[in-house]
Amino acid sequence: MNDILTMMRKESKDVFFQGGWKSLIRPLLVIGIMGIYLPLQFGSQWVDLTPLGMILLLWIPFFVIISFIGDVIAGERERHTLETLLASRMPDRAILPGKVVTTVLYAWGMGILSLLLGPVVVGLFRTQGNWMFYPLYLFVAALILSLLVNMLGASAGVLISLRVATVRQAQQILGIGTIVFVFGIILALQAVPANVISSLTYAQFLLIAMAVIAVLDAILLGLSLLSFQRSRLISS
């Protein structure tokens, strides 16, 4: 555990301080969009966490993750810092989990702050002090789904970053993979009989989504851990 925490501290410095003050623009922009702009646009409907609002809350942090997760391994390879990291005494079981956990917490933290800020913005500017909060089960579902979706993006990104030579290649593959994944979901939903979908409640649909994404997370994270072989990375 101490090794993972050490790796997380190292990754946190890279995420928050490597670009100087400019590195703060990305999280502030994301929180501004999800926590201020979208609640102002949706008004009181934002607090209802409708399917559209839920999708936006999940998609934006996921997009942020895939925009930079390719740098996790491929970026270190390009900067010639991967050899130094692999030559350190840091065990394999700490390097990859530390990178994944830091990335997931970074995106999940933006989502949580945005979720908490949304009702405040709605109450101040759209409902004139008529304070509301999300239905508890939807708020919990949003937190869990956000964590799982962020884990999905991080696990897929790390797996691809392990296998490509450059960050640009990783980003291109992730972009194409995301499009294929979205179209796959659409086709899968179209293949399900309409009466089956219509019979599901919103809560049941969210539970099914959690289960499916959790399985995908386990598969991708497991493949990433199996693919992280120090000897192969050093030789490459």
The predicted-structure confidence for 10-38, as pLDDT tens digits, reads as follows: 777 766 655 556 667 888 899 999 999 99
Which residue is it, tokens 């499009």? 179
Answer left, alpha or beta for residue 80, where phi above 0 means left and psi between -120 and 50 means alpha: left
CB atoms within 10 A of CB 29: 14
Maximum CA extent, the chain: 63
Record the tokens describing residue 142, joined without a space.
């949003």
Q: Is the pLDDT of residue 191 over 90?
A: no
- Give the rounded distance of the alpha carbon of 105 from its chain centre: 8
Element (H, E) at 48: none
Question: pLDDT by residue (tens digit) across 87-133?
Answer: 777 777 778 888 888 889 999 999 999 999 999 999 888 887 788 89
Amino acid symbol at 116: L
Find the DSSP H helices in 36-91: 38-42, 51-68, 74-78, 82-87
Which pLDDT score is estimated for 231?
64
State the pTM of this model: 0.89
Q: What percent of the chain has pLDDT over 90?
A: 37
Which pLDDT score is estimated for 209?
92
C-beta of residue 134 within 8 angstroms of C-beta of residue 142: yes
> How far is 76 from 72, CA to CA, in rounded Å?
7
What is the DSSP secondary-structure string of 153-222? HHHHHHHHHHH-SSHHHHHHHHHHHHHHHHHHHHHHHHHS-HHHHHHS-HHHHHHHHHHHHHHHHHHHHH
Q: Is the pLDDT of residue 234 over 70?
A: no
Which pLDDT score is estimated for 226?
85
Which pLDDT score is estimated for 22?
62
Question: pLDDT by residue (tens digit) across 31-55?
Answer: 999 999 999 999 889 999 999 999 9
Counted residue by residue, the chain has a size of: 236
Residues 6+ apart with CB under 8 A from 153: 62, 65, 66, 69, 107
Compute the half-sphere exposure of residue 153: CA atoms within 13 Å on the CB side of its CA: 30
Average pLDDT of the chain is 85
Across the range 197-221, mean pLDDT stands at: 92
Domain boundaries, the chain: 2-235
